[in-house]
A and B are shown apart, each in its own frame.
Chain A
Amino acid sequence: MTPSRPLGLIAAFAALAVLYALPAIAPRALVQDLFGVLTLLVLALNWNTLAGFAGLVSVGQQAFVGIGAYAMFAAIILMDLNPLVGVLIGGLAAAAFALPMAFFAFRLNGAYFAIGTWVVADIARLGISQWKALGGGTGTSLPKGTAKDMAFVDRIKAALDVSSAAAADALTYWLMLTLAVAMLVAGHVFLRSRMGLGLQAIRDNETAARSVGVDPVRLKALVFLLTAFGTGLCGALAFIQITRVTPDAAFSVIDWTAFVIFITVIGGIGTLPGPIVGAVIFYALQRLLADYGTIYLIVLGCLGIAVMLFARRGLWGVFTGRTGIDLLPLTHRPPKSAAPQPQASRRTA
């Protein structure tokens, strides 16, 4: 462990403690803002795993956000379930949708895969807009008071001495923050595992990876399913706070995929801290340029192009390259035993 690592870990834990404490000490508007940033961070972490590590450049992630959101609405409105159960159902529904989507999309490569995922997402949007029970093309809203009736809201309200709405915001914020931390930790553990090593080999050279026993289709399908689950959970949670869903909003390619790609690319695609750096920059730009209307989007676009041209590994990649500091290295070490002896049950290929 380099001397910078313990310091980095202490700083990370301190930042995390502040983030968790925020609903108790910061205005509600900031909590809501950060909820939006965390939503994009979770989506970026998932997209980064998919595109940056598995080489699956999907432009159809909005399908999982939309399916997750609509499944959550269906669970609450049609089945009268608890919203938090609805969020879990949202994740599972997105993973279930990923199965047939992978069946079609995995027959495509490169640019065709990207376009194919986009097309499937749009078909999902059109399909959902036919679901009359959830408002069809005009969408629907959560029943009044749904967010306020969630489990733990009363306790948070009493503990923080805030309104029910602010307590609901705090709960969804904490859930999204926990989801982001879980994604980061799970991503780190996964990428440092044998499967993660296989995934990096596939990204480098799929044919050579196959020749050393890595099964690219199975491994990519697993990553596709897991990231669909994570994206679906995130979508469902995001729309609990929004409280209203329409096909256009839930399946928006700009909101749920384009911004996410921007965050990942400027932060550093194929690195774990990259999406965090990208999300912080995105939020800072959003705040700085909030009063300038569309200029904000032009600046985002120019920055994205500049990073792609002059810092292809993203800002975190540049920082790591210049300083040698990597807070979440993905280097694999041999097992402590004399020989690497993977068990048959752990095999992915």
Chain B
Amino acid sequence: MSALLQIAGLTAHYGDFQALFGVDLTLQDGETLAVIGANGAGKTTLMRAITGIAKVTAGTVTLAGEDITRLPAPEILTRGIAMVPEGRRLFPSLTVEENLLIGAHARKGNGHWTLEKVQALFPILKERRHNPGTALSGGQQQMVAIGRALMSNPRVLLCDELSLGLVPVVIKEIYAAFPRIKASGTSIIVVEQDIGQALRVADHVHCMMEGRITLSGRPAELSRSAIHDAYFGVSHA
């Protein structure tokens, strides 16, 4: 495997507040990577900095060898990084189908993900295609948000807090789609507070605290106490 996304010394701000302090991270092609951490650890700012929404003040983001650090958000999307934002952010005046179609707005040419394939991944989205996107349940809305991101045919899919506000059975249903997304050739970065879920889906896990990576490794290599220490910043007695 080769490095698809390389983040080196990334520093970014959330408003006036410095949220990232020289973060280093590597996503290999075909890999699923989880970033875990408590509220305020800087996970969402990391996602926003990668996608060009948050202003990067130092460091670089490289996608397949190309420096994309300061490109505008639409350009980064065109190059193949799509995000499923925290809180879904569906468009309330658009139907489910239109919410999916708008995901292809920045797309260039053909690719694996089509409307039919997204609807096959989440069949409920075909059933409810004429409903307003925001009239669906939280889990179904999350499926729309994932489908919308996939419609841009991304090489890297960033998922910010997919499990937020969802019941475990729905979270399980959503994460059950990940192997098929991965099999399509899309690499994934998952930001999660749910440690157990992150460990189940990820090939590599990075723990963040106060804007820094405090622990990295394969899920099988990381002990519960090490994760606890890195997550909360206190020694596990």
Contacts and interface: CB of A to CB of B under 8 A. Distances in A.
Contacts of B152: 212-213
Main secondary structure of the interface of B (DSSP, over half): loop
B64 interface: no
Contact of A207 (B89, B101, B103, B115): B89
Nearest to B73: A210
Candidate in A203, A340, A342 with the most chain B CB atoms within 10 angstroms: A340
Given A332-B101, A334-B115, A212 B106 contact: yes
B93 interface: yes
A154 to B, nearest CB: 50
B92 to A, nearest CB: 6
Chain A CB within 10 Å, residue with most, of B78, B85, B90, B106: B106
Q: Which of A205, A213, A331, A332 has the most CB of B within 10 A?
A: A213
Nearest to B116: A338
Nearest to A198: B105
B101 A338 contact: no
A216 to B, nearest CB: 10
Interface residues of A, number: 30
B203 interface: no
Given A201-B91, A203-B93, A341-B109, A349 B102 contact: no
B108 interface: yes
A332 B53 contact: no
Interface string B128-161: 0000000000000000000011011000000000
Contacts of A211: 51, 53, 73, 77, 83, 85, 89
A331 B106 contact: no
Nearest to B112: A339
Contact of B89 (A208, A347, A348): A208
Contacts, number: 104
Contact of B94 (A197, A338, A348): A197
Contacts of A332: 94, 97-98, 101
Band of interface residues on B: 35 or more
Nearest to B94: A200
A204 interface: yes
B136 to A, nearest CB: 15
B105 A214 contact: yes
A331 B78 CA distance: 25
Contacts of B101: 197, 332, 334, 340
Contacts of B114: 338-340
A208 B73 contact: no
Nearest to B48: A211
B218 to A, nearest CB: 31
B204 to A, nearest CB: 25
Interface in A100-159: none
Contact of B106 (A200, A213, A338, A341): A213
A215 interface: yes
A79 interface: no
A344 interface: yes
Contacts of A205: 89, 91
Interface in A208-257: 208-215
A200 B78 contact: no
Interface string A181-204: 000000000000010011011011
A266 to B, nearest CB: 21
Contact of B95 (A201, A331, A340, A342): A331
A200 B93 contact: yes
B89 A201 contact: no
A69 to B, nearest CB: 36
Residue of A200, A201, A348 with highest tally of chain B CB at under 10 A: A201
Contacts of A208: 85, 89-91
Contacts of A349: 74, 78, 105-106
A323 to B, nearest CB: 17
Contacts of A341: 104, 107, 109-110
Given A213-B152, A349-B105, A204 B97 contact: no
Contact of B97 (A207, A215, A334, A342): A334
Contacts of A214: 74, 102, 105-106
B97 A213 contact: no
Contacts of A209: 91, 102
Contacts of A213: 73-74, 77-78, 105-107, 152
A212 B105 contact: yes
A204 B98 CA distance: 13
B74 A210 contact: yes
Nearest to B111: A339
Contacts of B95: 331
Given A214-B105, A341-B104, A344-B109, 8 more contacts: A197-B105, A198-B105, A211-B73, A213-B73, A214-B74, A332-B98, A340-B101, A340-B151
- Across the A-B interface, give the 6 residue pairs with the lowest CB-CB distance, nearest first: A213-B106, A339-B114, A208-B89, A204-B91, A349-B74, A340-B104
24 contacts: A200-B98, A201-B102, A204-B92, A207-B53, A208-B85, A209-B91, A210-B53, A210-B73, A210-B74, A211-B51, A211-B83, A211-B85, A212-B77, A212-B103, A212-B106, A213-B77, A213-B107, A214-B74, A214-B105, A215-B74, A334-B101, A340-B151, A349-B74, A349-B105
